[in-house]
A and B are shown apart, each in its own frame.
Chain A
Amino acid sequence: MLQLCRITKSYRMGEMAVEILHGIDLTILRGDYTAIVGSSGSGKSTLMNILGCLEPPSSGQYYFNARDITQLSDNERTDIRNVQIGFVFQQFNLLPRLTALQNVMLPMVYAGYGREERRQRAAAMLEQVGLADRMTNRPNQLSGGQQQRVAIARALVNQPELLLADEPTGALDSRTGEEVIELMSALHADGLTVVLVTHDASVAQNCGKIIRIQDGQISRSA
């Protein structure tokens, strides 16, 4: 489903170019449950952003369903983010002025669904993550765990093939973090392909596959 060939990523820091990723080769199959682990600054978040089509790699090829992402236009990559990939952020990234329901509906707005269908599907999705009674709350009226579940509902509402989660438990206490991880496991059990970044070994243990990143390279894959 995903295939990365010699992906590198460098950032320009003033005069100097700093390379964060040095040639990543990676394959993720449909139905995989993969954890990417590594210390902070190892480049795992950057890798995640490339997987999520949020930023293009500096070199190398990235095939998503056999299409080379690096050759696509900005609009095409935007549409992949919209429909085929769900992305869950460490900081939730909900829009503070919108209600939970409106936040979940947002990807469907950009996908061009009608108002009624949006409302129904977003409501069903919030029910699925256990927030049926919190639909009209704004993010600041929700706990961290609830916000992250809204974010997960938003990521899934367009029925993507791939769910990417960048340290989804990073901003949560351990108990709510566990709930979120349980939710992700359940989604994987239903057939969703999941990739998550974590530095929590116990979280990684749940996953079928662990990829360890060190200094911008894959050091061990299991």
Chain B
Amino acid sequence: MGLRRRERNGGDLAETIALAWSSLLANRMRSALTMLGVIIGIAAVISMVTIGRGAQLQTENQLKSLGSNLVFVQSGVAASGGPASRGAGSATTLIWEDAQAIAASIPAVADVAPNLSQRTQVVLGDRNTNTTVVGSTPAYVTVRDFLPLSGRFFNQVELNQAARVAVLGQTVVDSLGLTERSALDRTIRIRGETFTVIGTLEFKGSTGFRDQDDQVLIPLTTMAARIVGVNTTAGVSVESIAVSARSAQSMAAAEYQITNLLRLRHRIVPPREDDFLIRNQADLVNASNAVANVFTALLGGSAAISLLVGGIGIMNIMLVSVSERTREIGIRRAIGARCSDILRQFLIESTVLSLAGGLLGVLLGVVASLTINAIFGWSAGIAFDAVGWSLAFCLVIGVFFGAYPANKAAQLDPMTALRSD
């Protein structure tokens, strides 16, 4: 008489999981402490990734707040190689006329805002603040997408007349003890010159490089004539020119055309190198993303290590559990549990342990993420992919770190196991 053929499954999965759960409950304190490692690991991974993403998104948004479809042309140090060099070390190689030429002759360009700045002191009565005074043109408003909050920006007439008018950023307004309303029509002193405040700028926040609200805008002509005074024979020198392209698609064309135009105007032929530098927003965003990615990877990586430590904790406790329950294993083997049944039982137990820890960790991580987002006012949301990954990682940890103890249990000799106490 042969053995009856049986559909072997060692009880259905739900039942085995329930069994695993009840044996974990039998050692509440121990199971909870073991899970803590995984809980902390998972919560750390999720909240660290959220922090990294949040910071990244924040920087991205701020870079976008510079304006739309922006291309920055910056003065570079003139190359001193060729005989036709304009003189080594002249840091400001761009002039206002370059900006006007870009605006006039490049179709892909919507508008340009030249920029000449100087860090200096601004005085109102007995209060003063150290800030950046920026000389520009009325196009600044559209190019940089920077609207007045109160009053108005200076106009073309004031630019042409080199009028002594100023528009204040909100940080400067605060520093001088004013409000956006009370600031209007006040007279401030910059480098001994008096200026009338005609407007204040909307709040923009920091780009991560500098505070965009800590500046005072005055007409470029006034700036050149009264503050910095860098009048060259060629005209008014500018540090940089902000150029807005007509659309995102025309940015590449604009960059190319600007490069060619400036090379012509500056008489740059190889092997002379460009005496200007063109960067667009995407470059800035990419650079900041690269930094943020490293940051996120570092945070996430160190959190993953704590998860690994949690996994080792699981292996440890499973080994203890196997040696404590040697007799149980012996009994089960004696009444017909195969090695594979025992293996399965302990594997599921370690997986339930790590997944339960993982779920609690997700809960904690989500709460932590929401708190972090609320504190910093981020809208990054929760790193749901990190939730998915870390739960999958938990599953792997449960199986991987459970495998050795479970195998140890399965390989026990039934009789030896029965004799133990």
Neighbouring A residues of B9 by C-beta, 8 Å: 112
Neighbouring A residues of B340 by C-beta, 8 Å: 75
The number of residues on chain B lying at the interface, defined by a beta carbon within 8 Å of a beta carbon of chain A, is 32
Neighbouring A residues of B4 by C-beta, 8 Å: 83
Closest CB in chain B relative to A80 CB, distance in Å? 7
Q: Are B8 and A87 in contact (CB under 8 A)?
A: no
Q: Are B26 and A93 in contact (CB under 8 A)?
A: no
Q: With the chains together, A152 CA to B140 CA distance in Å?
A: 94
Task: Other than A76-B3, A89-B334, A95-B332, give 8 A-B pairs with Cβ distance below 8 A.
Answer: A52-B334, A65-B1, A75-B339, A84-B3, A107-B336, A109-B11, A110-B10, A110-B336
Neighbouring A residues of B239 by C-beta, 8 Å: none
Is the CB of B337 closer than 8 A to any CB of chain A?
A: yes
Q: Are A111 and B22 in contact (CB under 8 A)?
A: no
Q: Are B335 and A82 in contact (CB under 8 A)?
A: yes
Is the CB of A79 closer than 8 A to any CB of chain B?
A: yes
Neighbouring A residues of B327 by C-beta, 8 Å: 93
Is the CB of B127 closer than 8 A to any CB of chain A?
A: no
Question: Which of B4, B9, B10 neighbours the largest number of chain A CB atoms within 10 Å of its CB?
Answer: B4
Q: Are B336 and A81 in contact (CB under 8 A)?
A: yes
| Closest chain B residue to A114, Cβ basis | B12
B337's contact among A65, A93, A110, A155, by CB below 8 Å, is which?
Answer: A110
Q: List 29 A-B contacts (CB under 8 A).
A: A49-B415, A52-B334, A54-B414, A54-B415, A54-B418, A55-B415, A65-B1, A74-B338, A75-B338, A75-B339, A76-B3, A78-B337, A78-B339, A79-B3, A79-B6, A81-B336, A82-B335, A82-B337, A83-B3, A89-B334, A93-B327, A93-B330, A93-B331, A93-B418, A107-B336, A109-B11, A110-B10, A111-B6, A112-B7
Is the CB of B53 closer than 8 A to any CB of chain A?
A: no
Q: With the chains together, A115 CA to B340 CA distance in Å?
A: 20
Closest CB in chain A relative to B3 CB, distance in Å? 5
Neighbouring B residues of A89 by C-beta, 8 Å: 334, 418
B26's contact among A80, A97, A111, A112, by CB below 8 Å, is which?
Answer: A97
Of residues 86 through 124 on chain A, the ones whose CB sits less than 8 Å from some CB of chain B are: 87, 89, 93-95, 97, 106-107, 109-112, 115
Is the CB of A44 closer than 8 A to any CB of chain B?
A: no
Q: Are B334 and A54 in contact (CB under 8 A)?
A: yes
| Closest chain A residue to B337, Cβ basis | A110
A55's contact among B332, B339, B413, by CB below 8 Å, is which?
Answer: B413
Q: With the chains together, A16 CA to B138 CA distance in Å?
A: 102
Is the CB of A154 closer than 8 A to any CB of chain B?
A: yes
Of residues 337 through 370 on chain B, the ones whose CB sits less than 8 Å from some CB of chain A are: 337-341
Q: With the chains together, A81 CA to B1 CA distance in Å?
A: 15
Q: With the chains together, A161 CA to B81 CA distance in Å?
A: 103
Q: Are A110 and B335 in contact (CB under 8 A)?
A: yes
Closest CB in chain B relative to A107 CB, distance in Å? 5
Closest CB in chain A relative to B239 CB, distance in Å? 78
Of residues 1 through 28 on chain B, the ones whose CB sits less than 8 Å from some CB of chain A are: 1, 3-4, 6-12, 15, 22-23, 26
Q: Are B334 and A87 in contact (CB under 8 A)?
A: yes
Interfacial residues, chain A to chain B (CB-CB below 8 A): 49, 52, 54-55, 65, 74-76, 78-84, 87, 89, 93-95, 97, 106-107, 109-112, 115, 154-155, 158
Given A74-B339, A95-B331, A115-B15, A55–B414 Cβ distance below 8 Å? yes
Is the CB of B180 closer than 8 A to any CB of chain A?
A: no
Is the CB of B328 closer than 8 A to any CB of chain A?
A: yes
Is the CB of B333 closer than 8 A to any CB of chain A?
A: yes
Q: With the chains together, A49 CA to B413 CA distance in Å?
A: 13
Closest CB in chain A relative to B257 CB, distance in Å? 78
Neighbouring A residues of B22 by C-beta, 8 Å: 97
CB-based closest 5 A-B pairs: A82-B336, A110-B336, A112-B6, A109-B11, A55-B415
Q: With the chains together, A208 CA to B393 CA distance in Å?
A: 62
Q: With the chains together, A81 CA to B330 CA distance in Å?
A: 13
Q: Are B332 and A81 in contact (CB under 8 A)?
A: no
Closest CB in chain B relative to A12 CB, distance in Å? 12
Neighbouring B residues of A110 by C-beta, 8 Å: 8, 10-11, 332, 335-338, 341
Neighbouring A residues of B7 by C-beta, 8 Å: 112
Q: Are A106 and B339 in contact (CB under 8 A)?
A: no
Q: Are A78 and B333 in contact (CB under 8 A)?
A: yes
Q: Are B15 and A81 in contact (CB under 8 A)?
A: no
| Closest chain A residue to B416, Cβ basis | A55
Neighbouring B residues of A79 by C-beta, 8 Å: 3, 6, 336, 338
Q: With the chains together, A110 CA to B415 CA distance in Å?
A: 18
| Closest chain B residue to A54, Cβ basis | B415
Q: With the chains together, A158 CA to B3 CA distance in Å?
A: 12
Q: With the chains together, A154 CA to B330 CA distance in Å?
A: 15
Closest CB in chain A relative to B42 CB, distance in Å? 29
Q: With the chains together, A111 CA to B3 CA distance in Å?
A: 11
| Closest chain B residue to A96, Cβ basis | B328
Q: With the chains together, A111 CA to B4 CA distance in Å?
A: 10
| Closest chain B residue to A97, Cβ basis | B26
Q: Are B335 and A81 in contact (CB under 8 A)?
A: yes
Neighbouring B residues of A54 by C-beta, 8 Å: 334, 414-415, 418
Neighbouring B residues of A78 by C-beta, 8 Å: 333, 336-339
Q: Are A95 and B414 in contact (CB under 8 A)?
A: no
Of residues 27 through 45 on chain B, the ones whose CB sits less than 8 Å from some CB of chain A are: none
Q: Are B336 and A111 in contact (CB under 8 A)?
A: yes
